[in-house]
Amino acid sequence: MLLLNTKSQDLEVFATNEEVRYAILSHTWGSEEVTLALFLAKDKRTDSKGWDKIRRSCEVAARLGFDYIWIDTCCIDKKSSSELSEAINSMFQWYEKAGVCIAYLEDVSSADDPTKDGSQFAKCRWFSRGWTLQELIAPPELHFYSQEWELIGTRTSLQEAITRVSLIPAVILHTSGQGQSLDDCSIAEKMSWAANRQTTRPEDMAYCLLGLFDINMPLLYGEGRVKAFKRLQEEIIKSTNDDSIYAWRYPQELSERQHFWGLLAESPAAFGHQGAANDLSFQLLRYLTRSSNYVAAVSSRGLDVELALTPHPRDESGTIFIAVLDCDMGRDEVSHELTPAIILQKTQWHNDTEYVRIRTDHLLMVSMNLMKFAKDLKRYRLGYDRLSEAQPRQIFVPHNLSTRRSPRGILFHPEVVPLYHDKPFMIGVLSNDSDWFFDEPQKTPSDASGTFVLSFDPDSDLGATEPAQPTKLGSLELEIKQYGGWNSWRTYLVIGLEPHPPNPFGTPSLYTVPWYAFVKKDKVAAGQLDDVLVREDREMEHKLLNEVLRVEFDLESRHSRLHYNVVLKLREAIKESRR
């Protein structure tokens, strides 16, 4: 660690910051800063603003009784990527271990009154920069100096004014361990402190928060703001089970940029909807809510997380779910009356494990299974929807929704899954329309009767995009015979695809729904096969003896492609009550 001697103004090297007592400078960079290269140059010019800042900093530190001071402009070799990475990853600790932090506010005069609204202090650039956030919180003692290098006040004496402009609670600003620990603050709350700050380099908006979350990670300048901030969140997720990291919200115009989102925000600004100036703020849970202590798994594709899900009460599509987050929202340090929730949409027809986030401009509030619909947390709407109990489930949420893929056709095996162990019925296909072809039986006993295959046109979007209206794909005339008996039945099985019912948020569905119907032979003869396109007119069961025949769909791989598989299953018939 390089430190500047406050007397000689020479640089000295120390193995660790534990070896020496030092002051540290916090400031915003200007146009004439003295880098390490300029500091060591033989023909250095010492009459610039940067040199004056170094001299005055040394004078203030010496008056406060410190022989050494650390200044970021000249105490880091920024040409060395390894040294820069070490410095940024250690920065919070360096400020935390300093004896005092000297904050130089070059745009605040000594005549300013920091306690007044609209003061230079409240508007100064220092409060808008990303790096100064940790420099405000980490040091045990912080002194503010004006552009004339006169003392304005300390973090303790100016606490009320600092809280007002920074949105950081007063309990965090208390000096030397007397206040609340950062570990007691939720992720969302800490993110909200950085919501309105900026950095010169886009990646630094993530890197300047490393110490705030006690995270170390490699620096990749050039990766961009979004990638850097998502990497930071992934590292945070690996070390915590605080769901408030998912409790972010975008303005409506940004949310409408796309339909589907991952679980990670693109910048701290997404957390700016709460803080000390708001009625509500996120807080860590005081009580256990789940029996497991599952920690999310991070991959390059997305997140495997455990979230408590419940169906949206006004959704008819069966695809929209409310994810209740494992954190609290309250109006003060003791009030924990609401639980935030986000909106997810199911992405796959054949399982309940993959979801994406939708409507990122909404953050729902849940209280005792009553959902409040909130776009503005200060004035959330008081209309209520009652939710069913949310159940913890392990799900996968991709960072980006990939191109939708779907089954390439339909398979039908002429067999019945029995109700019990025996097989009382056998199935035969008497006829089929021209869209089906018969795949000869394989040698395996499970496929002894062969398979009927209906393949979608590879040049069409059938199955990949949702049809505008119910579509009939094909029909099979079935004969159902009883083993060892004289009974037999004939029916037509019609298979098709249809759109979902609309969901409350108007987002497009991410998969196509297969449907079926049984049609009597006389209706087919009368040309009424297309009546099944109306959902309410479909016969979903075919009555046999004491059982009914129904259809379930699953997926089966055929020639390296997935197909919808039509499965005939027996169910007990519901007996009519006797009068």
CA angle 308, 311, 314 (to 5 degrees): 145
For 308, phi and psi rounded to 5 degrees? -85, 115
pTM: 0.86
The whole-angstrom separation of Cα 393 and Cα 280 is 27
The type of residue at 437 is F
- In 3D space, the residue among 328, 483, 473 whose CA is nearest the CA of residue 411 turns out to be 473
- CA 91 to CA 101: how far, in whole Å? 13
Residue 228: is its pLDDT beyond 80?
yes
Per the CB < 8 A criterion, the answer to whether 131 and 199 are in contact is yes
Q: Contact 126/165 with Cβ under 8 angstroms?
A: no
H or E, element range at 337: none
Tokens of 478: 């079935």
Helix (H) or strand (E) holding 162: helix 159-166
Of the segments 147-161, 355-369, 402-416, 467-481, which one has the largest average pLDDT value? 147-161
516 near 495, Cβ under 8 Å?
A: yes
What is the predicted pLDDT for the residue at 579?
Answer: 36
Question: How many whole angstroms separate alpha carbon 468 and alpha carbon 487?
Answer: 41
Residue 278 φ then ψ, to 5°: -105, 160
* Best mean pLDDT range from 128-142, 164-178, 328-342, 418-432: 128-142
Q: Which residue has the higher pLDDT, 274 or 189?
A: 189
pLDDT tens for each residue of 61-76: 999 999 999 999 999 9
- Residue 123: its H or E element: helix 120-123
Evaluate if residue 466 carries a pLDDT over 80.
Answer: no
Looking at residues 382-391, what average pLDDT do you find?
75
CA distance 347 to 326: 23
pLDDT band at 476 (very low <50, low <70, confident <90, very high): very high
Name the fold adopted by 2-180.
Rossmann fold (3.40.50)
Domain ranges of the chain: 2-180, 279-398, 409-572
For residues 316-334, average pLDDT: 81
Strand pairing of 437-439 and 425-432?
unpaired
Cβ proximity of 505 and 358 under 8 Å: yes
Q: Cα–Cα distance between 403 and 261 in angstroms, integer?
A: 14
89-98, 486-495, 558-567 — most confident range: 89-98
**Beta-carbon neighbour count of residue 335 at 10 Å?**
12
Instruction: Enumerate the β-bridge partners of residue 13.
Output: 2
C-beta of residue 110 within 8 angstroms of C-beta of residue 145: no
Please state, in angstroms and rounded to a whole number, the distance separating the CA atoms of residues 465 and 291.
40
Q: What per-residue confidence (pLDDT) applies to 369? A: 62
Span 27-40, average pLDDT: 92
Regarding beta strands 451-455 and 471-482, do their DSSP bridges make them parallel or antiparallel, or are they unpaired?
Answer: unpaired
Question: What is the C-alpha to C-alpha distance for residues 268 and 363, in angstroms, rounded to an integer?
Answer: 16
Q: Which helix (H) or strand (E) holds 293?
A: none
Q: What is the mean pLDDT of residues 222-243?
A: 95
